[in-house]
């Protein structure tokens, strides 16, 4: 987890973003005034693609190295000499630094996180030079500055009564790099510098932490220095190791206390795998064995939540770390032990996700990745991030620590089950019982979708928002933020006083007969309640949601939103067997919303500044009321690629939804009957 504890007092300042926000005068905008780089990087291109080994992306291990060097060169465009910090132009908005006292930590983030890319490159190219600066010399020099009290990059040791801080996070990441390339980063250092680094880093590692993925930062610091002969708190190390194991929930997922998201992958699974490889197998073989057992199921679950072309979901906080989420795939090839792993599919996914962003023209600004999803996108930014935070995505390139002879690099790219197992005109569901996650793959459009049951209040500034509260997340349709006028995508919103409030409190009930069941209630008003049933169909979703509210209010249900990519979004309506279908088309995808029961009307709602892929966007919203007479909301949320209009059969795959005593019966167009059975 990334927490708000960047420096003392920042957590309190961040939590002040609650209801009192409007009454609190805004602090003066603080900027470090880093000038943009003098030259601009071109868009990343796969040079001399290898279409034999990688017929889909052209990317081999060499191209991964090219990508790491490309991103690292962007960071080094701000480095002209050994003393220059890894500090970048600030992105306007809620990001830190907000005071001068936070600047050393800002620089520390840039330094430690760019090492995720630099360390694997330096192991094979020790003389790597970027922007006229020898990269290895630069990092060693900067490590010495961290413990030089006269340096502006100096990091003070943790005070005896000091709590967890962002410095702990970055020193944990630095320890990963030290383990990975000690011959470059550690061994050449003067002994005095080593001792000073040990004292400073152990002051953080041998101390309090945040009780989820953060414990791994302590674990790596303690383990590295113990491996180098320094005295470390073995008791604390062993305590944190055992506590990390308690977060495992099955199917490769760790609960990051209190949610499931990519931190399970780019933190728990990554750190567990590398810690075992560099230290645990030798010193704590039982723990390492358990971590390996928890890693093994990933090949059967995690790949399915990526699109056919490797596109990853926009889901969860810190989404600016983007393709850092693919790092488990190459790590499957680190001393592989799980039989049957389709390494060609794993690499096709991982390379595809890299290209999803590297080849998007909005990805870099001033040679540095933006904080957002494609370009800068403030609704997806957390206040614990600075501009250098984004280099957490460099964790993907820790996959380059996997030897070139590994099957991850030598297998021929393929599309796995998308080729033969997933048939056009069908839908594939994979329910993961440990985390209660439903992953759905849609062969007709090559998209993947995820549903879970988060329960996070709005007072949680990192999780009580669109990053978690959508009814589902789809690789083809990144989430759109809610708007003040009731603009909503893939969620319900309810009118409370003069505001629209989305669902945030979900409870998983069951998965049965292809239907995913949850209950949901409004956070501020428990009289507003729904019983939710999602049934994925070949071209979309049938929603059958039962009203359990005892209070009447206006509500809206949103489809996914479409970004305006070409200057216009076409809107049409069609009558199909007595039902009106509302359709929008942005030239890439078409979306259709067909109300079957419970709705008053459908609106096509334009939005500005709410979508991560374009300045303007459009969403279809169904409008109704929770008046007790309304017992059932039945809705078809459909999609297909642009080019050919929806057929009548595609617009009405369900003939009718009839309410019953315990739920409803949906009659599909082919005559099959689907019983929807709710339970409390």
Q: Where are the domains of the chain?
A: 61-419, 426-643
Stretches where the chain sits below pLDDT 70 are 1-27, 680
For residue 641, report the phi and psi dihedrals to the nearest 5 degrees: -70, 155
Apex 525 CA angle, 523 and 528, nearest 5 = 100
Contact 381, 320 (CB under 8 A): yes
Cβ neighbors of 587 (< 8 A, separation 6 or more) are 565, 566, 642
Query: For domain 426-643, which architecture applies?
Result: Distorted Sandwich (2.70)
Tokens at residue 130, please? Answer: 């970027």
What is this structure's pTM? 0.95
Separation of CA 146 from chain center: 30
SS3 432: strand
Edge-to-edge order in the sheet of strand 663-668: 654-659, 663-668, 673-677
pLDDT tens per residue, range 122-154: 999 999 999 999 999 999 999 999 999 999 999
CA distance 637 to 480: 16
pLDDT at 27: 65
pLDDT at 3: 38
SS3 376: strand
Residue in 278, 391, 277 with CA at minimum distance from that of residue 337: 277
The DSSP secondary-structure symbol of 524 reads T
For residue 111, report the phi and psi dihedrals to the nearest 5 degrees: -65, -55
Cβ neighbors of 421 (< 8 A, separation 6 or more) are 428
Matching fold, domains 61-419 and 426-643: no
Query: For domain 61-419, which architecture applies?
Result: Alpha/alpha barrel (1.50)
CA distance 241 to 276: 11
pLDDT at 353: 98
Contact 449, 475 (CB under 8 A): yes
Place of tokens 């961040």: 14
Cα torsion angle, 238, 239, 241, 245, sign: positive
């Amino acid at each position: 987890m990334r927490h708000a504890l960047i420096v003392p007092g920042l957590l309190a300042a961040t939590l002040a973003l609650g209801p009192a926000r409007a009454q609190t005068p805004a602090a003066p905008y603080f900027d470090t005034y880093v000038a943009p780089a003098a030259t601009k990087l071109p868009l990343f291109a796969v040079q001399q693609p290898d279409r034999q080994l990688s017929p889909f992306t052209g990317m081999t291990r060499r191209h991964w190295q090219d990508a790491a060097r490309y991103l690292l060169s962007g960071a080094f465009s701000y480095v002209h000499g050994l003393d220059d910090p890894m500090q970048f132009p600030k992105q306007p908005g809620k990001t830190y630094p907000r005071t001068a006292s936070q600047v050393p930590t800002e620089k520390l983030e840039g330094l430690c996180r760019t090492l995720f890319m630099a360390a694997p490159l330096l192991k094979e190219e020790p003389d790597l030079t970027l922007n006229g600066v020898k990269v290895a010399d630069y990092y060693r020099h900067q490590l010495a500055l961290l413990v030089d009290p006269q340096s502006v990059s100096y990091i003070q040791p943790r005070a005896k009564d000091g709590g967890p801080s962002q410095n702990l996070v970055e020193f944990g990441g630095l320890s990963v790099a030290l383990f990975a390339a000690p011959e470059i980063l550690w061994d050449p250092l003067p002994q005095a510098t080593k001792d000073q680094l040990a004292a400073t880093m152990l002051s953080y590692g041998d101390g309090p932490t945040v009780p989820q993925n953060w414990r791994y930062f302590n674990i790596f610091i303690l383990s590295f220095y113990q491996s180098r002969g320094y005295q470390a708190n073995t008791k604390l190390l062993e305590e944190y190791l055992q506590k990390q194991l308690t977060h495992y929930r099955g199917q490769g997922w760790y609960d990051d206390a209190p949610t499931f998201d990519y931190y399970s992958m780019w933190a728990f699974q990554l750190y567990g795998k590398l810690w075992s490889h560099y230290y645990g197998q030798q010193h704590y073989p039982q723990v390492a064995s358990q971590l390996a057992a928890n890693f093994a199921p990933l090949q059967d679950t995690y790949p399915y939540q990526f699109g056919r072309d490797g596109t990853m979901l926009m889901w969860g906080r810190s989404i600016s770390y983007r393709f850092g989420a693919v790092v488990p795939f190459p790590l499957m090839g680190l001393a592989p032990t799980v039989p049957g792993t389709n390494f060609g599919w794993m690499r096709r996914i991982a390379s595809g996700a890299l290209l999803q962003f590297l080849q998007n023209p909005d990805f870099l600004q001033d040679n540095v990745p933006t904080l957002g999803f494609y370009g800068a996108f403030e609704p997806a930014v957390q206040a614990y991030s600075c501009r250098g935070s984004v280099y957490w995505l460099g964790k993907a390139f820790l996959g380059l620590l996997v030897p070139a002879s590994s099957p991850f690099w030598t297998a021929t790219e393929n599309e796995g089950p998308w080729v033969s197992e997933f048939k056009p005109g069908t839908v594939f569901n994979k329910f993961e019982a440990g985390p209660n996650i439903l992953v759905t793959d849609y062969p007709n459009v090559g998209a993947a979708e995820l549903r879970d049951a988060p329960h996070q209040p709005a007072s949680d500034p990192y999780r009580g928002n669109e990053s978690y509260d959508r009814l589902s997340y789809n690789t083809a349709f990144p989430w759109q933020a809610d708007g003040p006028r009731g603009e909503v995508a893939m969620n319900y919103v309810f009118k409370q006083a003069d505001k629209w409030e989305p669902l945030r409190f979900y409870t998983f009930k069951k998965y049965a007969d292809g239907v995913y069941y949850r209950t949901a209630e409004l956070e501020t008003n428990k009289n507003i309640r729904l019983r939710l049933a999602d049934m994925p169909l070949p071209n979309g979703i049938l929603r059958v949601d039962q009203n359990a509210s005892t209070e009447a209010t206006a509500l809206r249900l949103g489809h996914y939103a479409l970004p305006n990519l070409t200057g216009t979004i076409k809107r049409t309506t069609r009558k199909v067997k007595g039902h009106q279908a509302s359709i929008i088309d942005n030239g890439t995808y078409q979306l259709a919303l067909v109300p079957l029961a419970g709705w008053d009307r459908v609106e096509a709602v334009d939005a500005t500044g709410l979508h991560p892929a374009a300045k303007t966007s459009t969403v279809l919203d169904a409008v109704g009321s929770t008046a007790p007479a309304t017992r059932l909301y039945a809705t078809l949320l459909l999609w297909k690629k642009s080019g050919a209009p929806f057929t009548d059969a595609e617009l009405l795959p369900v003939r009718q939804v009839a309410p019953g005593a315990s739920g409803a019966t949906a009659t599909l167009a082919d005559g099959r009957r689907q019983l929807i059975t709710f339970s409390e």
